[in-house]
Chain A
Amino acid sequence: MSLIARYLEENGIPTVVMGCAKDIVEQCGVPRFLFSDFPLGNAAGKPNDPGSQEFTLDLALRVLETAVGPRTTVQSPLRWNEDSLWKIDFSNVEQMSEEELQKRREAFDEVKRVAAKQRQEAGLKVSAAE
């Protein structure tokens, strides 16, 4: 999504990115970024919490209208919860047993197989249509 922000901006469309992966967005480099320090999947606010969702969009709009230059990141003051223990768990190999890793290896092989099949099917459909 960061690439889209950059492309639109290069072509005269101002943008704001709403996201939860600070390092990934900032490494790419975007004009304006509202960072919510929440688990991935909640860039627009907390689930079943309309107040947090409206606040988050409004903050993104404020970033859109007030940023003075590129790489403007604003971090939302909202917190997911008090202990923030969710931050320790995501894809953290230091927290996983060998048995868990083996299960994940097998699951990942399956995901790759499905994705490759999908791509092939999508490719075939495209060439048939052309």
Chain B
Amino acid sequence: MTEQEAALGFAAPHDMPVPYIHRITSYYLALGYGNPYRWAQYADVPFTPLKKPLSESRLALVTTAGPYQNDKGDQGPGAAYNASAKFYKVYSGETDKEHDLRISHLGYDRKYTTAEDINTYFPLGQLHKAAEAGRIGEVAPRFHGSPTNRSQVTTIEQDCRDILARVREDEADAAVIVAN
């Protein structure tokens, strides 16, 4: 960084959001896979306003984390990418119970993160606190886990439908969706 930039209080040139699409596309090209993934891209985006205040709303939680499976190898903390820990169908868990969910099947940043603290990717504890504090009405009775491994067609035609059906069954008013 030049002295002038420093004097202006600029951040370092690298200190901006990571360009993941560019990085990952270049990475797989360098590995010899010449058919880059096409990330979803839409011109139009839907929007549904809240129907009532959050303090009266029932919130659903949707996650890409998966249940620990003791026959599927190292799932962390600190595990290498573990494709065998993937799951292929939407699942749900009761939110009034403790859950051991992991993200070893996902492409998180393994150099700087070990996934040792579930609250960094599955904020159920935080949601319960928000409910206790009256910040939200209540936590829906179940959270929902979404597969991440399939084609976008499968995600839309199968997983999205499954999750919508479950969110509706639980009569949730809104959803918090955590990406990883």
The interface of chain A, by Cβ under 8 A from chain B, is 1-25, 27-31, 35, 37, 39-48, 50, 53-54, 56-58, 60-61, 64-65, 67, 69-71, 80, 83-93, 96, 101, 104-105, 108, 111-112, 114-115, 118-119, 122
Contact = CB atoms under 8 A, between A and B. Distances in A.
Given A24-B20, A41-B108, A114-B83, A16 B177 contact: yes
A54 B125 CA distance: 9
B177 to A, nearest CB: 5
A78 B103 CA distance: 23
A1 B178 contact: yes
Contact of A61 (B54, B106, B116): B54
Contacts of A14: 48-51, 173-175
Contacts of B44: 29
Interface in B81-124: 81, 83-84, 86, 88, 103, 106-109, 111-117, 119-123
A41 B54 CA distance: 26
Given A9-B47, A65-B54, A115-B86, A44 B122 contact: yes
A70 B130 contact: no
Contacts of B146: 1, 4
Contact of A111 (B81, B172, B175, B176): B81
A1 B179 contact: yes
Contact of A60 (B14, B42, B114, B176): B176
17 contacts: A4-B146, A5-B175, A6-B45, A8-B175, A15-B177, A23-B18, A29-B43, A31-B47, A37-B17, A45-B120, A46-B120, A57-B130, A61-B176, A86-B109, A86-B112, A89-B111, A115-B83
